[in-house]
Amino acid sequence: MLGEGDVAPDFRLPADDGKTYALKELRGQKVVLYFYPKDETPGCIKEACSFRDNLARVRSKHAIVLGVSRDDLDSHAAFRKKYSLSFPLLSDTEGKVLDAYGVWKEKNLHGKTHMGIERTTYIIDEGGRIQKIFPRVKVDGHVDEVLAAL
């Protein structure tokens, strides 16, 4: 279980912008790493658009935003284009980063259990340590919480 103050697990994932992102290569800037269940679902659309609409405010705090889900790069590219998202979406189809960050969990929907991503955001500081964890994120007002913590 990860906690605030812990070293954030390093990762190297492909993104829909054609780049590969590695946490260790992002040292020196804050990273808002948000895990979301699935492209093109209502809560995920709302969350992504909220980060998009507030990206200048996030950047003013010397931070970048990276979204992560299990969706593939084609799905991410279509999602990003449709909603004019101005930050990269990383693809973790194998789920290794999801496991490392503890967001791949058993979920219950209408009495049936299944495995899925628990909407969670991590703020990682300039040195690669976890500054803040937002588990079980409620989308409304979340970006304001993130901004307050930056």
Residue 25 has pLDDT above 90, yes or no: yes
Q: Which alpha helices (DSSP H) does 1-150 contain, by range? A: 42-53, 55-59, 73-82, 96-100, 142-149
Q: How far is CA 78 from CA 19, 70, 104, 108, in A?
A: 16, 15, 24, 28
Q: What sign does the dihedral 114-70-95-87 (CA atoms) show?
A: negative
What are the catalytic residues?
Answer: 44
Average pLDDT over residues 20-38: 97
CATH class assigned to 29-149: alpha beta
- Measured between alpha carbons, how far is 108 from 116 in angstroms, rounded to an integer? 10
* Average pLDDT for 44-66: 97
Contact indicator for 80, 16 with CB cutoff of 8 Å: yes
What pLDDT shows up at residue 31? Answer: 98
Query: Could you read off the pLDDT of 97-146 as tens digits, one per residue?
Result: 999 999 999 988 788 898 999 999 999 999 999 999 999 999 999 999 99
pLDDT, mean of residues 28-57: 97
